[in-house]
Structure 1
Amino acid sequence: MENNTVKNLSLLLELQEIDKQINKIIQVRGGLPQEVKKLEDDLSNLQLQATTCQEQTINLEQNIASLRIKIKDIEAQVKRYEDQQMNVRNNREYDAITKEIELHKLDIQLAEKKIKESYEQIEKSKHAIEFLNKSIEKAKQNLASKQEDLNSIVGESKGEEEKLNKKCQQLQANIDKALLQSYEKIRNNVRNNLAVVTVAGGACGGCFTIIYPQMQAEIKEKRQIIKCEHCGRILADVVDSVSVIAAEADSQVD
């Protein structure tokens, strides 16, 4: 059990160093990946709007065609009523047919009004499509430019990143799964992404909370995985406070 703990802690520390190197590579890219993603989303949104406008235009044109057919049918019906009107036998029949003719003519006027409104809407859609197409071309150019910048930066470090990711996968395969999950969870929850730290000067190397001597002794023994009670980071080892002070003094002399 002791050997497994020592092995896992050693592997975690090595994994963390590789993760730090990968993070540095990613940081060099700055906000470019996010910019590229936003430009891709903006382009998709513009293309969707253009497609919607085109579909609306097609629907309006189909509606106009249907209304024209309807008008012809109504006009034919009016003609039949007018023919009947010539052969009525009394005023009541004449008035009834006249009312039907008037109602049908109102339907024609309504259909013609809808056709006019549809043409107006088609004109607006055409202007919108023209504007959207220009915006799409501009968005494509911006995206291509940013994508080229990103590809250039990624290309410079692609080989190194692939090598580090491969090494990362190899290490992960040899670490206890539950411990690896805990490591990833801690990394994602802490600001500096350090999941594994040492106790230096009697304090946690992550949050600087004092670690009591008894726990320090247990950490040194490495019989089990111990986490900081305050920040939850894994405490891999204890750096003697005297050594730390001496190292700091040496660095000041230099």
Structure 2
Amino acid sequence: MLLPIDYDLQVLQEIQEWDKEIYLLQETLEDIPSELAELNHRVENERAQLAKLQGDLKNFQLKQKEKEVELASKEENIKKYEAQLTQVKTNKEYSSLQAEINSLKADNSLLEEVIINFFDQVEEVQKSVEAQKKKLEASEAVLNQKKQELDEKSKDMRQKISTLAAQKKEKISKVNHEIASLYERIVTKKRGIALVKVEGEVCPACQMKLRPQVVNEV
């Protein structure tokens, strides 16, 4: 027949296995927010990158539009000056108008190159925007899927903790009150470990060397 202290220790050993599982589940639950925060941070970075690309695209489009308006204005001036060529009365006036027309055409030639360059940049950034949108959508899908998985996992773990805690409460009520209180203080401090098997003269839990008298008593 077991002595009361032996019975209490036997019960507490069983309870400790539940406590180990409870603390392990709690630690896993505690890690979930940081896991989600990392995924959220990744999505926010993708979103910020998309916003930057969209800003670049808008900027290039505005600059392209400005140059196109400038080009159209100069082409109108060329037409106006060319119409005036038939109306001038002196060679000097003709030469002056022709020089102005040639200058405007030279400017337009440069403007066309600038517009083409902006067009290429707009096209390139548009491709980057579309690629980034897909990348963001993929990251958001991963985040949403992970949230769903972790929500279900959290629910299951909390249910398991609740079940184990109920089992523990019922079981520990059979243990001597003082011993149970001491166990609770230690298991809380050591997060799931209160009872260990002593081997030699060193406690495997705290790594402290035990006096021979204590070892014999244990």
Q: Deviations over 1:9-39 (max 9, x none)?
A: xxxxxxxxxxx99975542247544544555
Q: Which amino acid aligns with 2:201?
A: C
Question: Aligned pair in 2 of structure 1 residues 109, 32: CA closer, same or farther (>3 Å)?
Answer: farther
Question: Aligned pair in 2 of structure 1 residues 240, 94: CA closer, same or farther (>3 Å)?
Answer: closer
CA contact (8 A) 1:64 1:118 kept: yes
Residue 213 of structure 2 aligns to a residue whose secondary structure is strand
Aligned-residue sequence identity (percent) comes to 16
CA contact (8 A) 2:203 2:210 kept: no
**Which residue, out of 208, 213, 216, partners 1:238?**
213
Q: Which has the higher contact order (CA 8 A, sep 6+)?
A: 2
**Equivalences, count:** 179
CA contact (8 A) 1:36 1:143 kept: no
| TM-score, length basis structure 1 | 0.50
Identify the residue that residue 117 of structure 1 maps to in structure 2: 124
Verify: 1:48 aligned to 2:41, yes or no.
yes
Question: Aligned pair in 2 of structure 1 residues 40, 236: CA closer, same or farther (>3 Å)?
Answer: same
Gaps of at least 5 residues in structure 1 are 1-19, 170-183, 208-230, 245-254
Worse-matched range after superposition: 140-149 or 25-34: 25-34
Task: Give the structure with the larger strand fraction.
Answer: 1
**Which residue, out of 168, 171, 174, partners 2:185?**
168
Verify: 1:157 aligned to 2:171, yes or no.
no
How many angstroms does 1:92 deviate by? 5.8
Residue 233 of structure 1 aligns to a residue whose secondary structure is coil
Verify: 1:206 aligned to 2:203, yes or no.
yes
How many angstroms does 1:129 deviate by? 2.6
How many angstroms does 1:124 deviate by? 1.4
Residue 206 of structure 1 aligns to a residue whose secondary structure is coil
Cα distance in 2 between the residues matched to 1:239 and 1:39: 42
CA contact (8 A) 2:201 2:215 kept: no
Query: Which of the two has higher C-alpha Rg?
Result: 2
Verify: 1:81 aligned to 2:81, yes or no.
no
Cα distance in 2 between the residues matched to 1:167 and 1:42: 30
How many angstroms does 1:151 deviate by? 0.9
Task: Give the structure with the larger helix fraction.
Answer: 2
Gaps of at least 5 residues in structure 2 are 1-12, 82-94, 173-179
Q: Deviations over 1:72-128 (max 9, x none)?
A: 221222233334546472766554433321222222112222221222122212222
Q: Which amino acid aligns with 2:71?
A: V
- RMSD of aligned Cα (Å): 4.6
Identify the residue that residue 173 of structure 1 maps to in structure 2: none
